[in-house]
Chain A
C-alpha cells in the first residue's frame, strides 16, 4: 500500500513538471512567438489580426498570437496572469490605469529601447505620450487616442429650427439649445431630451466642464480632489439646473430605460462622447455630426485619453515584443487602425491623411484632431479606479434626485481624498 502511494506521488509529480514545461529563451535570430492581449470586440479583433499578419510579413521571425476579451474579463484575466508571473508579452492598457500596474513593478521599462530608437516617436502627437512618462522613463506606448466632442442629432435640430453647434458655443448656448430641443408632453413626461451625458466618470462631461469653468479635477501631486472648489461647483450647478430645472437632461434612471444611450436611442439631441462611438452611431437611423466641446468662462476644454501597449516585465521575448510595439506606431499599422474607425491614430501623418479624415461615416472627423489644441489629459495616477468610483458612487444620489448637490459633493470629495491618502 505504502509503496503504491509512493508510485502515485512520483507519477503525479512527473505530470506536474511536464505541465510546467521548460522554456528556453530564444536566440536572437531564431523564430519566436509572442503573445498579445487586449480588450475589444470582434471587429477590432479582425483588424488586429490583419495588423499582426502584416507585421509577420515584415518580420518573418516573429509570430504574434492575439487574444481579445471584453473590457471586464480582460482586466480579470490580465491580473490573474500577472500574479502567476505568466503575463502576455504585450498587452493593452488604458492610460488612467497605467500607473496601477507600473507602480507595482510588473511592466518593462521601455526607455532603453526608446533611447536606441530616438526617432520612433517623432511623428506621434505629444499630448498622447504624456500619460506614459514616469521619472525613470516610459513603460508604455500609446496606440490610439480619444478626444471628446459634442455629437448632435441633425434631424432634431432641423425640426426645432435650432442652429447646429459650433466651436464658438459656450455652456450657456448649450443649455439654451438643450432647452429648445426638449419636448415635454401634456402629462409632464419628457419625450425628447436636449442633452444627455454620463455623469459617473469624468471623461465625458464633468472634467471638460470643470476645466472650461476654470476649475481643476485633482492637484498635480494627486493628493487632493479639487472638484468641490468654487469654480468646479459652477459646472456641477449647471448640470443640476439642466437636469432638474430645465429637464433637458435625463437622470440616470431614465437613461437606463433607453439602453444607457438616449442619443443612440433617438431621444436625446446632443451627447458628448469620443470617437469610439462613431461605428455604433453609424447604424443610427437619423443624421448626425460632431462639433467641438463648448467654451466656458475660462475657455474651451476637452479631455484626451489614450489606449496603449506595454510589455510584461516577465516577458521572455522583450526584443520581439518591442519590435511589435514599434510596428504599432508605424504608418501601416496606424492606417489600419484609422480604417477601423474606433479611435484616432496617434501618428499625426496618418491622422491627418484621408485614411482617418475620409472614413466611411461622413462626419467632420477633423473635430477630434483639432480638439487636441485645447485638450487636458485625463489624469493618470495610482488608484484611479477607486478614486473615480468614490466620486461616481458618491454623487449618484444627486443625479437621481435623491440627494442635495452641495453636501453630497462635499462627502464625495472627502471619500475621494481618503482613497488618495490610502494610495500613498
Chain B
C-alpha cells in the first residue's frame, strides 16, 4: 500500500536533508544507547577504565544477587497493585467527571493537578500525611478511635507508595478515559434507557465495552510507568545516603551504575526490565485481539 504523494527530484534531496538531523539523533541517541546497553551488559565496566568481557556473569548475578532479586520482586508487586488501581480508579473518576454538573472543570483540574506538580514536592507533602507521630492520616485514625499505623515502615511502605503513585496517575488516566467516554454516542444510552436498562447495566454493557480501546491503552501506559516508577517511591522511602526501604529495579540500576561503579551489572538489569515489559506488552496485544472492541 502507498499513501500520499511520492517526493520527486529535488524534493527527494530536501526530504533526506531535512530528515537527517532527526535520523542522526535517533541512530546515535536512541538506537546507539540501546545497542551500547546490550553490549555493556556482557562486560565489566566501571566507566573510568576500559571495559572487559564478562560473558553472561552479569546475567547470572540477576538470579543470584539478593538485592537485585528483591528489587525485581518489589517492582512486580508494585506493578500488580498499581496497574489495576490506576485503570479502575481513573475510569471511575472519568465516568463521574463525564456528567454535566456545575464546576466539573474545577474537579477535572483538581484531579489532573498531581500530574503537573513536581513529584518531589508532593512526596514531601505525602510524608507529612503518612508520618507516624505527626502525620495527618494517623491523627484522623486516632480521632476515630483506631490504632495509629506506621505507614512508611518497611511492612507498609509498599502499599503507601502504591497509593501515592496511583493518586499521581489518576489525572492522566482520567483524560484518556474522558476522551473515550465522550466518543460514545448518547443514542446508545437513550435506547438502553427506553428498554429499561439500569445504570449498572448501562455501565457494564455499553460503557465498558466501548471504552476497551482506552482501557487497553491505559493499561499499556500504566504498565510501562509502573516499571519505570522511581520519583515518589524514592522520596517516600529513602533512608541513609541513597538507600531506599522499597528498592525497585530502576532505583537498583541507578545505584549500581552511579554509586557502585557497576555499569555492566546495571545494563543487564536494564535489559531484564526491557524484556519483562516487552513480554507483558506481547501478552496485552494478544488480549487486545480477543477483547478490545473498535467501532
- On A, residues with C-beta under 8 Å from B are 1, 4-5, 8, 12, 75-76, 79-80, 82-83, 100-101, 104-106, 189-190, 198, 200-201, 252-254, 256-258, 385-386, 388-389, 392-393, 396-397, 400, 402
Contact A253 B260 (CB under 8 A): no
Contact B241 A200 (CB under 8 A): yes
Task: Tell yes or no: B16 within 8 A of A by CB.
Answer: yes
Q: Collect the chain A residues with CB atoms within 8 Å of residue B290's CB.
A: none
Q: Collect the chain B residues with CB atoms within 8 Å of residue A396's CB.
A: 239-240, 243, 245
Identity of the chain A residue whose Cβ is nearest the Cβ of B258 in the assembled complex: A76
Contact B127 A256 (CB under 8 A): yes
Identity of the chain A residue whose Cβ is nearest the Cβ of B245 in the assembled complex: A396
Identity of the chain B residue whose Cβ is nearest the Cβ of A85 in the assembled complex: B48
Contact B49 A104 (CB under 8 A): yes
- Within the complex, the shortest CB–CB distance from B24 to chain A, in Å, comes to 7
Task: Tell yes or no: B182 within 8 A of A by CB.
Answer: no
Apart from the given pairs A252-B239, A252-B240, 14 other A-B contacts in the complex at a CB distance below 8 Å: A1-B12, A12-B24, A101-B48, A104-B49, A105-B49, A190-B133, A200-B240, A253-B153, A256-B127, A392-B240, A392-B243, A400-B153, A400-B154, A402-B155
How far apart sit A106 and B150, CA to CA, in the bound complex (Å)?
46
Q: Return the contact of A83 from the options B47, B242, B255 (Cβ within 8 A).
A: B47
Q: Collect the chain B residues with CB atoms within 8 Å of residue A105's CB.
A: 48-49
How far apart sit A106 and B127, CA to CA, in the bound complex (Å)?
41
Task: Tell yes or no: B180 within 8 A of A by CB.
Answer: no
Q: Return the contact of A257 from the options B20, B132, B242 (Cβ within 8 A).
A: B132
Contact A397 B48 (CB under 8 A): no
Task: Tell yes or no: B261 within 8 A of A by CB.
Answer: yes
Q: Collect the chain B residues with CB atoms within 8 Å of residue A190's CB.
A: 133
How far apart sit A201 and B242, CA to CA, in the bound complex (Å)?
11
Q: 6 tightest CB-CB pairs across the interface, nearest first?
A: A200-B240, A257-B131, A104-B48, A392-B240, A83-B47, A386-B260
Interface size on B, residues (CB 8 A): 33
* Known contacts A75-B258, A82-B48, A105-B49: A257-B135 contact under CB 8 Å: yes
Identity of the chain B residue whose Cβ is nearest the Cβ of A389 in the assembled complex: B243
Q: Collect the chain B residues with CB atoms within 8 Å of residue A198's CB.
A: 240
A contact patch SS? helix
Task: Tell yes or no: B93 within 8 A of A by CB.
Answer: no
* Known contacts A1-B12, A396-B239: A257-B48 contact under CB 8 Å: no
How far apart sit A396 and B242, CA to CA, in the bound complex (Å)?
12
- Within the complex, the shortest CB–CB distance from A65 to chain B, in Å, comes to 23
How far apart sit A402 and B155, CA to CA, in the bound complex (Å)?
9
Task: Tell yes or no: B144 within 8 A of A by CB.
Answer: no
How far apart sit A80 and B46, CA to CA, in the bound complex (Å)?
11
Task: Tell yes or no: B17 within 8 A of A by CB.
Answer: yes
Contact B13 A4 (CB under 8 A): yes
How far apart sit A1 and B15, CA to CA, in the bound complex (Å)?
12
B contact patch SS? loop
Task: Tell yes or no: B274 within 8 A of A by CB.
Answer: no
Q: Collect the chain B residues with CB atoms within 8 Å of residue A83's CB.
A: 47-48
Contact A257 B243 (CB under 8 A): no
- Within the complex, the shortest CB–CB distance from B55 to chain A, in Å, comes to 17
How far apart sit A423 and B131, CA to CA, in the bound complex (Å)?
39
CB within 8 Å of A: which of B221-241? 239-241
Contact B243 A200 (CB under 8 A): yes
Task: Tell yes or no: B253 within 8 A of A by CB.
Answer: no
Sample (8) of A-B pairs whose CB atoms are under 8 Å apart: A8-B16, A8-B20, A76-B258, A200-B239, A253-B153, A257-B135, A385-B260, A386-B259
Q: Collect the chain B residues with CB atoms within 8 Å of residue A4's CB.
A: 13, 16
- Within the complex, the shortest CB–CB distance from A313 to chain B, in Å, comes to 10
- Within the complex, the shortest CB–CB distance from B16 to chain A, in Å, comes to 6
Q: Collect the chain A residues with CB atoms within 8 Å of residue B24's CB.
A: 12
Q: Report which residue of B48, B127, B258 has the largest number of chain A beta carbons within 10 angstroms of its beta carbon.
A: B48
Q: Return the contact of A402 from the options B47, B153, B259 (Cβ within 8 A).
A: B153
Contact B13 A393 (CB under 8 A): no
How far apart sit A5 and B12, CA to CA, in the bound complex (Å)?
11
Q: Collect the chain A residues with CB atoms within 8 Å of residue B215's CB.
A: none
Q: Collect the chain B residues with CB atoms within 8 Å of residue A385's CB.
A: 259-260
How far apart sit A252 and B154, CA to CA, in the bound complex (Å)?
11
How far apart sit A396 and B153, CA to CA, in the bound complex (Å)?
11
Contact B47 A79 (CB under 8 A): yes
Contact B47 A82 (CB under 8 A): yes
Identity of the chain A residue whose Cβ is nearest the Cβ of B48 in the assembled complex: A104
- Complex interface bits, B249-272 against A, C-beta within 8 A gives 1, otherwise 0: 000000100111100000000000
* Known contacts A8-B20, A83-B47, A104-B46: A254-B133 contact under CB 8 Å: yes
How far apart sit A82 and B50, CA to CA, in the bound complex (Å)?
12
Q: Report which residue of A82, A105, A198, A389 has the largest number of chain B beta carbons within 10 angstroms of its beta carbon.
A: A389
Q: Collect the chain A residues with CB atoms within 8 Å of residue B245's CB.
A: 396, 400
Identity of the chain A residue whose Cβ is nearest the Cβ of B133 in the assembled complex: A189
Q: Report which residue of A79, A104, A190, A393 has the largest number of chain B beta carbons within 10 angstroms of its beta carbon.
A: A393
Task: Tell yes or no: B52 within 8 A of A by CB.
Answer: no
Q: Return the contact of A8 from the options B17, B133, B150, B261 (Cβ within 8 A).
A: B17
* Known contacts A82-B48, A253-B132, A400-B154: A5-B243 contact under CB 8 Å: no
Q: Collect the chain B residues with CB atoms within 8 Å of residue A397's CB.
A: 154
Task: Tell yes or no: B152 within 8 A of A by CB.
Answer: yes
Q: Collect the chain B residues with CB atoms within 8 Å of residue A189's CB.
A: 133
How far apart sit A397 and B260, CA to CA, in the bound complex (Å)?
22
Q: Return the contact of B243 from the options A75, A101, A393 (Cβ within 8 A).
A: A393
How far apart sit A201 and B259, CA to CA, in the bound complex (Å)?
14
Task: Tell yes or no: B73 within 8 A of A by CB.
Answer: no
How far apart sit A83 and B263, CA to CA, in the bound complex (Å)?
12
Identity of the chain B residue whose Cβ is nearest the Cβ of A80 in the assembled complex: B47
Q: Collect the chain A residues with CB atoms within 8 Å of residue B47's CB.
A: 79-80, 82-83
Q: Collect the chain B residues with CB atoms within 8 Å of residue A12's CB.
A: 20, 24
Q: Collect the chain A residues with CB atoms within 8 Å of residue B241's CB.
A: 200-201, 388-389, 392
Q: Collect the chain A residues with CB atoms within 8 Å of residue B135's CB.
A: 257
How far apart sit A83 and B135, CA to CA, in the bound complex (Å)?
45
Q: Collect the chain B residues with CB atoms within 8 Å of residue A75's CB.
A: 258
* Known contacts A75-B258, A385-B259: A5-B133 contact under CB 8 Å: no
- Within the complex, the shortest CB–CB distance from B77 to chain A, in Å, comes to 18
- Within the complex, the shortest CB–CB distance from B26 to chain A, in Å, comes to 14
How far apart sit A252 and B258, CA to CA, in the bound complex (Å)?
25
Q: Collect the chain A residues with CB atoms within 8 Å of residue B242's CB.
A: 389
How far apart sit A179 and B238, CA to CA, in the bound complex (Å)?
28
How far apart sit A100 and B46, CA to CA, in the bound complex (Å)?
10
